[in-house]
């Protein structure tokens, strides 16, 4: 069984990520409106009927704005920590609110969703990994620094949404005030292109097939720049820059196995192939 994934929107104007199999799916954050979420999923051929829950990473508005309407309309449970719920001021039906804790696993059908703490200027922020029968996808955005938890989870992923928020030079030369620049790169803000690339180069597993670069800054980054930066080091991984204006394609994530062919000279030519189990 494969997982299939899509970015419905990625950026400071709203974040929402879809991860599911053929039976059930979850949304990681819901920072765009219910109507826009529905429109984008419809264009992708994804059904809201398969969405079984929303998982909330932290309380910033670009991650939670759409939750009250979409949760109420579809009666979706919202997995959220108590501090995040308080600070976010979300008005949710009590029966839809479910708390989760770090390093606990929530089981929804064949999906196993685990959370771990991250460094970000929010009350109780978490990143998530979603596993289905051995296939793992990570959602790693709004991260101030690469920590051991992030390294551990990233190194197990067949695919990941990974923050590449800003280019150092663009941030330095840009018009943001000093205090905001310091917040962005101060260890509780966001990952730079350089930090994300260093993580990717040092810790990507051999079986990773897709990397969706996420939460790019509108003012301090450039999609073509970061695409080229990662393409040069991709090593067979499909690199996709998630847009702040539109949904991505749906990407199918399956097992990657080794195949081989016997050459005329008797040598063995190994080739990594992705096998879709969907």
Query: What pLDDT, in 10s, does the model give residues 36-84?
Result: 999 999 999 999 999 999 999 999 999 999 999 999 999 999 999 999 9
Bin 111: left if φ > 0, else alpha if -120 < ψ < 50, else beta: beta
pTM exceeds cut of 0.85: yes
- CA 73 centroid distance within chain: 24
What pLDDT shows up at residue 255? 67
Mean pLDDT of 169-191: 96
CATH topology of domain 3-275: Metallo-beta-lactamase; Chain A (3.60.15)
Report the percent of the chain where pLDDT is more than 90: 90
pLDDT beyond 60 at 259: no
Q: Which helix (H) or strand (E) holds 11?
A: none
């Amino acid at each position: 069984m494969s997982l299939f994934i899509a970015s419905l929107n990625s950026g400071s104007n709203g974040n929402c990520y879809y991860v599911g199999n053929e039976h059930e799916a979850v949304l990681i954050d819901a920072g765009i409106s219910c109507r826009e979420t529905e429109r984008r999923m419809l264009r992708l051929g994804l059904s809201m009927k398969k969405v079984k829950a929303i998982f909330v990473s932290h309380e910033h508005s670009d991650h939670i704005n759409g939750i009250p309407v979409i949760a109420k309309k579809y009666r979706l449970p919202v997995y959220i920590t108590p501090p995040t719920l308080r600070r976010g001021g979300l008005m949710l039906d009590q029966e839809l609110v479910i708390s989760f804790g770090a390093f606990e696993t929530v089981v929804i059908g064949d999906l196993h969703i685990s959370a771990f703490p991250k460094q970000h200027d929010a009350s109780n922020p978490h990143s998530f990994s979603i596993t289905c029968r051995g296939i793992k996808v990570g959602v790693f955005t709004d991260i101030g620094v690469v920590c051991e938890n992030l390294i551990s989870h990233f190194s197990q992923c067949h695919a990941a949404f990974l923050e590449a928020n800003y280019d150092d030079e663009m941030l330095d030369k840009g018009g943001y005030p000093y205090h905001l620049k310091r917040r962005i790169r101060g260890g509780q803000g966001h990952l730079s292109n350089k930090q994300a690339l260093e993580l990717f180069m040092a810790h990507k597993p051999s079986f990773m097939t897709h990397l969706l670069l996420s939460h790019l800054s509108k003012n301090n980054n450039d999609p073509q720049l970061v695409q080229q930066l990662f393409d040069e080091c991709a090593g067979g991984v499909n690199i996709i820059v998630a847009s702040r204006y539109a949904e991505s394609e749906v990407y199918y994530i399956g097992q990657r196995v080794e195949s081989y062919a016997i050459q005329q000279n008797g040598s063995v030519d190994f080739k990594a192939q992705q096998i879709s189990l969907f």
